[in-house]
Structure 1
Amino acid sequence: MKQRTIYLINIAAMLGLLIVVAVTVFFPQPYEYQGSLIEPPADSYAFALTKEDGTTYRLQDQQGKVVLIFFGYANCPDVCPTTLSDFKKIQGQLADQADQVEFVFITIDPERDTPQDIENYVSAFDPSFVGLSGSVEELQSVWDGYFVYRAKVESGSEAGYLMDHTARVYVIDQQGNLRLTFPFGMEADAMAADIAQLVDQN
Structure 2
Amino acid sequence: MSGPVMNNITHIVKMILATGLFALMAACNSAPDGSASVDAEPPLAGAKIGGPFTLTNQDGETTSEAQFKGQYRIIYFGYSYCPDVCPVDLANIMLGLKQAEKENPALASKIQPIFISVDPERDTPAVLKQYVSAFHPRLIGLTGTPEEIAAVAKKYLIIYNIRKDEGSTEYLVDHSRQAYLFGPDGEPLALLSFDGTPRQVADEIARWVR
TM-score, normalised to structure 2, is 0.71
Residue 87 in structure 1 maps to residue 97 in structure 2: no
- Identical positions, percent: 31
Alignment partner, residue 185 of structure 1: 195
Structure 1 residues 123 and 30: alpha-carbon distance in aligned structure 2, compared to 1, 3 A threshold: same
Identify unmatched segments of 5+ residues in structure 1.
1-23
Where do 4+ consecutive residues of structure 1 move more than 6 Å? none
Matched letter for residue 56 of structure 2: T
- What CA distance in whole angstroms lies between the structure 2 residues aligned with 1:83 and 1:162? 17
User: 1:17 maps to which residue?
Assistant: none
Confirm or deny: 8 A CA contact 2:49 2:156 kept in the other structure.
no
Output the amino acid matched with 2:132: V
Return closer, same or farther for 1:65/1:164 CA change in 2, 3 Å cut-off. Answer: same
Compute the displacement of 1:104 (Å). 0.5
Cα distance in 2 for partners of 1:40, 1:106 equals 23
The aligned runs of 1:68-79 (5 Å cut-off) are: 68-79=74-85
CA shift for structure 1 position 29: 8.3
Runs of 5+ consecutive residues of structure 2 not aligned to the other structure: 1-30
Q: Distance in 2 between matches of 1:122 and 1:185?
A: 19
Q: Decide which structure has greater strand share.
A: 1
Q: Residues 29-81 of structure 1: CA distance to partner in whole angstroms, max 9, x if unpaired?
A: 83899xx8113354631212121323222222212221011110111011110
CA distance in 1, matches of 2:162, 2:186: 31
The Cα RMSD (Å) is 2.9
* CA distance, structure 2, for counterparts of residue 40 and residue 113 of structure 1: 32
Larger radius of gyration: 1
**Corresponding residue number in structure 1 for 2:123:** 113
> Which residue, out of 46, 50, 72, partners 2:52?
46
Decide whether aligned partners of structure 1 residues 71 and 94 sit closer, same or farther in structure 2, where only a CA change above 3 A counts.
same
Write the letter of the residue equivalent to 1:58.
Answer: S
Q: Which amino acid aligns with 1:91?
A: L
Q: Cα offset for 1:187?
A: 2.6
**1:10-29 matched pairs, under 5 angstroms:** none
- Name the counterpart of 2:178: 168
Give the TM-score normalised by structure 1: 0.74
Partner residue, 2:204: 194
Aligned to 1:19: none
Which amino acid in structure 2 is aligned with residue 51 of structure 1? N
Provide the C-alpha distance between the structure 2 equivalents of 1:118 and 1:159, rounded to a whole number of angstroms: 19
Name the aligned partner's letter for residue 67 of structure 2: D
**What's 1:6 paired with?**
none
Please state how far the C-alpha of 1:153 moved relative to its aligned partner: 3.2
Between the aligned partners of 1:29 and 1:152, the Cα distance in structure 2 is 39
Counterpart among 30, 37, 43 of residue 37 in structure 2 = 30
Residues of 2 paired with 1:142 and 1:196: CA distance?
Answer: 27
In 2, the alpha carbon distance for the partners of 1:159 and 1:90 equals 35
Q: In structure 2, the residue corresponding to 1:111 is in which secondary structure? A: coil
Q: Which residue of 1 aligns with 2:137?
A: 127
Provide the secondary structure at the position in 1 that maps to 2:99.
helix
